[in-house]
Chains A and B, each alone.
Chain A
Amino acid sequence: MQQDRLRHLIVIVPGIGGSVLEDETGGVVWGTRRGIAGSVASPSRLSLAERLTPVGLIPTITVVPGFFAVAGYDALVWQICTTFAGSGGGPVQVDVARPGVPPHLGADVVLFPYDFRLGVADAAARLGEELERRLGGLTADARRGRVIVLAHSMGGLVARHWLGGLGGAGRRAAEDCAALVTIGTPHRGAPKALDWLVNGVRVGPLTLGRATELLREWPSAYELLPRYPAVADGASTWLYPHDLARVGHPEFARRAGEAYKLHQDIEAAWRPGGSGHRLPPVLPLFARGHRTLGRAELTGSELSEPKLAVRKEDAEWLPNPGWRGDGTVPAISAIPIELDDDRRVWRAVAERHLPMAGSPALIEILRDYSGASLAAVRGDTPERPWLGVDLEEQYLAGQPVPVTVDLLGAAASPRTAVWVRVRPAGTLRWMDHRCERAGTGWTAELPPLATGEYEVRVDAEGVPEVGRVTMSPDVFAVVEP
Chain B
Amino acid sequence: MTAWPPWDRAVAPADLARYVQRGAVPRLLPAELARDLPGPGEPDLLARVRRAYEVFARRGIAYVDEPTTSGPAGQVVRPLDQVLATPRQGTCLDLAVAFAGACLDAGLHPLIVIADSARRGRPAHAVVVVWLGGGWAGRPAAGYPLTGAVHDRPPADLVGDVRAGPDAPGSFVAVDVARAAVRRDRAGQSRAGQPEAGHGAPAGPATWAEAVAAGAALLAGAPANDLAATPATGLAAGLAAAAGPGWRWAVAVDVGVAYDEGRVLPLLAWPDHDILSPGYLDAEPDAGPLAQVQARRNVVPFYGRDELDVLLEWCQAPDPESRVRVAIVHGVGGAGKTHLAAELCDWLAADGWYAGFLERDPDPAHLAWLGEIVQPLLVVVDYAEANKSADVTNLLRAVRGRTTPTCLLLTARAIGPWWTNDIEADLRRAAHQPVVRPLPLPAAHPRATGVFRAALRAFGGEPGARPEPVAWDWTTLDLVMLAWLAARGADDLPQRREDLYREVLAHELRYWGDRCDRRYRWRPTEAVLRSSGACVSLRGPVPDRVMEALKAVPGSARTAAASWPSCCPTCCRPIPATTPSPSAPTPLVTILSCGSSTASGWCSPSACGTPRPASSSGPAGPCPAPPSRTGR
**What residues make up the interface of A, taking CB atoms closer than 8 Å to B?**
1-3, 78-79, 82-83, 359-364, 367, 384, 417, 419, 421, 423-424, 426-432, 450, 452, 459, 461-462, 465-468, 470
Report B252-269 CB contacts with A as 1/0, cut-off 8 Å.
000001111000000000
Q: How far is the CB of B48 from chain A (nearest CB, A)?
A: 9
Given contacts A3-B139, A417-B167, could you give 14 more A-B pairs where the C-beta distance is less than 8 Å? A360-B142, A363-B142, A384-B43, A424-B236, A426-B230, A428-B159, A428-B227, A428-B230, A430-B169, A431-B235, A432-B168, A450-B234, A461-B46, A468-B44
**What residues make up the interface of B, taking CB atoms closer than 8 Å to A?**
43-47, 132-134, 139-144, 147, 156, 159-161, 167-171, 223-224, 226-227, 230-231, 233-236, 239, 257-260
Identify which of A452, A459, A465 contacts B169 (C-beta below 8 A): A459
Q: Is the CB of B169 within 8 A of A421?
A: yes
What residues on B are CB-neighbors of A362 within 8 Å? 142
Q: Is the CB of B230 within 8 A of A419?
A: no
Q: Is the CB of A467 within 8 A of B259?
A: no
Q: Is the CB of B156 within 8 A of A428?
A: yes
Complex: how many Å from CA A364 to CA B144?
12
Q: How far is the CB of B143 from chain A (nearest CB, A)?
A: 3
What residues on B are CB-neighbors of A452 within 8 Å? 233
The 3 closest A-B pairs by CB, nearest first: A467-B44, A360-B143, A360-B142
What residues on B are CB-neighbors of A1 within 8 Å? 139, 257-260
Identify which of B132, B167, B239 contacts A429 (C-beta below 8 A): B239
What are 10 A-B contacts defined by CB distance under 8 Å? A2-B139, A79-B142, A360-B142, A364-B142, A424-B235, A428-B223, A429-B227, A430-B161, A462-B167, A470-B171
What residues on A are CB-neighbors of B224 within 8 Å? 428
Q: How far is the CB of B160 from chain A (nearest CB, A)?
A: 4
Give the one of B141, B142, B226, B231 with max A CB within 10 A.
B142
Q: Is the CB of B147 within 8 A of A82?
A: yes
When C-beta atoms are compared, the residue in chain B nearest to A366 turns out to be B142
Complex: how many Å from CA A450 to CA B236?
13
Q: How far is the CB of B40 from chain A (nearest CB, A)?
A: 13
Complex: how many Å from CA A1 to CA B148?
11
Q: Is the CB of A467 within 8 A of B47?
A: yes
Identify which of A360, A426, A468 contacts B132 (C-beta below 8 A): A468
Q: Is the CB of B142 within 8 A of A468?
A: no
Q: How far is the CB of A83 from chain B (nearest CB, A)?
A: 7
When C-beta atoms are compared, the residue in chain B nearest to A417 turns out to be B167
What residues on A are CB-neighbors of B143 within 8 Å? 79, 359-360, 363
What residues on B are CB-neighbors of A459 within 8 Å? 169-170
What residues on A are CB-neighbors of B43 within 8 Å? 384, 465-467
Q: Is the CB of B134 within 8 A of A360?
A: yes
Q: Is the CB of B141 within 8 A of A430?
A: no
What residues on A are CB-neighbors of B234 within 8 Å? 450
What residues on A are CB-neighbors of B161 within 8 Å? 430
What residues on A are CB-neighbors of B233 within 8 Å? 424, 427, 450, 452
What residues on A are CB-neighbors of B134 within 8 Å? 360
Q: How far is the CB of B130 from chain A (nearest CB, A)?
A: 12
Complex: how many Å from CA A3 to CA B231?
37
Complex: how many Å from CA A476 to CA B257?
33
Complex: how many Å from CA A78 to CA B140?
14
Q: A83-B142, A466-B43, A466-B44 are in contact. Are A428 and B236 (CB under 8 A)?
A: yes
Q: Is the CB of B142 within 8 A of A361?
A: yes
Complex: how many Å from CA A79 to CA B141?
10
When C-beta atoms are compared, the residue in chain A nearest to B224 turns out to be A428
Q: Is the CB of A470 within 8 A of B235?
A: no
Complex: how many Å from CA A461 to CA B258?
29
Complex: how many Å from CA A468 to CA B132?
8
Q: Is the CB of B231 within 8 A of A360?
A: no
Complex: how many Å from CA A466 to CA B224?
30
Q: How far is the CB of A458 from chain B (nearest CB, A)?
A: 9
Q: A1-B258, A432-B169, A468-B44 are in contact. Are A360 and B236 (CB under 8 A)?
A: no
What residues on B are CB-neighbors of A361 within 8 Å? 142
When C-beta atoms are compared, the residue in chain A nearest to B230 turns out to be A427
What residues on B are CB-neighbors of A360 within 8 Å? 134, 141-143
What residues on B are CB-neighbors of A419 within 8 Å? 168-169
Give the one of A361, A367, A423, A429 with max B CB within 10 A.
A429
Q: How far is the CB of B20 from chain A (nearest CB, A)?
A: 13
Complex: how many Å from CA A421 to CA B45?
20
When C-beta atoms are compared, the residue in chain A nearest to B48 turns out to be A467
Q: Is the CB of A427 within 8 A of B236?
A: yes
What residues on A are CB-neighbors of B236 within 8 Å? 424, 427-429
Q: How far is the CB of B244 from chain A (nearest CB, A)?
A: 14
Complex: how many Å from CA A172 to CA B359?
80
Identify which of A3, A364, A426, A467 contacts B45 (C-beta below 8 A): A467
When C-beta atoms are compared, the residue in chain A nearest to B239 turns out to be A429
What residues on B are CB-neighbors of A431 within 8 Å? 235
What residues on A are CB-neighbors of B235 within 8 Å? 423-424, 427, 429, 431
Complex: how many Å from CA A228 to CA B578?
92
Complex: how many Å from CA A112 to CA B626?
102
When C-beta atoms are compared, the residue in chain A nearest to B227 turns out to be A428
When C-beta atoms are compared, the residue in chain A nearest to B50 turns out to be A467
When C-beta atoms are compared, the residue in chain A nearest to B258 turns out to be A1
Q: Is the CB of A461 within 8 A of B160?
A: no
Give the one of A1, A83, A363, A421 with max B CB within 10 A.
A1
Q: Is the CB of B160 within 8 A of A429?
A: yes
Q: How far is the CB of A196 from chain B (nearest CB, A)?
A: 31
When C-beta atoms are compared, the residue in chain A nearest to B147 turns out to be A82
When C-beta atoms are compared, the residue in chain A nearest to B254 turns out to be A1
What residues on A are CB-neighbors of B227 within 8 Å? 427-429
When C-beta atoms are compared, the residue in chain A nearest to B225 turns out to be A428
Q: How far is the CB of A156 from chain B (nearest CB, A)?
A: 21
Q: How far is the CB of B201 from chain A (nearest CB, A)?
A: 27
When C-beta atoms are compared, the residue in chain B nearest to A420 turns out to be B169
Identify which of B132, B168, B226 contacts A428 (C-beta below 8 A): B226
Q: Is the CB of A470 within 8 A of B133?
A: yes
Give the one of A360, A423, A467 with max B CB within 10 A.
A467
Q: How far is the CB of B138 from chain A (nearest CB, A)?
A: 8
What residues on B are CB-neighbors of A359 within 8 Å? 143
When C-beta atoms are compared, the residue in chain B nearest to A365 turns out to be B142
Complex: how many Å from CA A427 to CA B227?
7
Q: A1-B139, A429-B160 are in contact. Are A461 and B239 (CB under 8 A)?
A: no
What residues on B are CB-neighbors of A83 within 8 Å? 140, 142
Complex: how many Å from CA A130 to CA B236?
44
Q: A361-B142, A428-B159 are in contact. Are A468 and B167 (CB under 8 A)?
A: no
Complex: how many Å from CA A364 to CA B137?
13
Q: Is the CB of B167 within 8 A of A461?
A: yes
Complex: how many Å from CA A431 to CA B239?
10
What residues on B are CB-neighbors of A79 within 8 Å? 142-143
When C-beta atoms are compared, the residue in chain A nearest to B243 turns out to be A429
Q: How far is the CB of A81 from chain B (nearest CB, A)?
A: 8
Q: How far is the CB of B225 from chain A (nearest CB, A)?
A: 10
Identify which of A78, A363, A430 contacts B160 (C-beta below 8 A): A430
Q: How far is the CB of B79 from chain A (nearest CB, A)?
A: 24
What residues on A are CB-neighbors of B44 within 8 Å? 465-468
What residues on A are CB-neighbors of B160 within 8 Å? 423, 427-430
What residues on B are CB-neighbors of A2 within 8 Å? 139
Q: Is the CB of B147 within 8 A of A78?
A: yes
What residues on B are CB-neighbors of A3 within 8 Å? 139
Give the one of B134, B144, B170, B259 with max A CB within 10 A.
B170
Q: How far is the CB of A77 from chain B (nearest CB, A)?
A: 12
Q: How far is the CB of B73 from chain A (nearest CB, A)?
A: 28
Complex: how many Å from CA A113 to CA B258?
35
When C-beta atoms are compared, the residue in chain A nearest to B259 turns out to be A1
When C-beta atoms are compared, the residue in chain A nearest to B156 turns out to be A428
Q: How far is the CB of B104 from chain A (nearest CB, A)?
A: 12
Complex: how many Å from CA A361 to CA B134?
12
When C-beta atoms are compared, the residue in chain B nearest to A458 turns out to be B169
Complex: how many Å from CA A364 to CA B142?
7
Q: How far is the CB of B261 from chain A (nearest CB, A)?
A: 10
Complex: how many Å from CA A421 to CA B160?
11
When C-beta atoms are compared, the residue in chain B nearest to A433 turns out to be B169
When C-beta atoms are compared, the residue in chain A nearest to B228 turns out to be A428
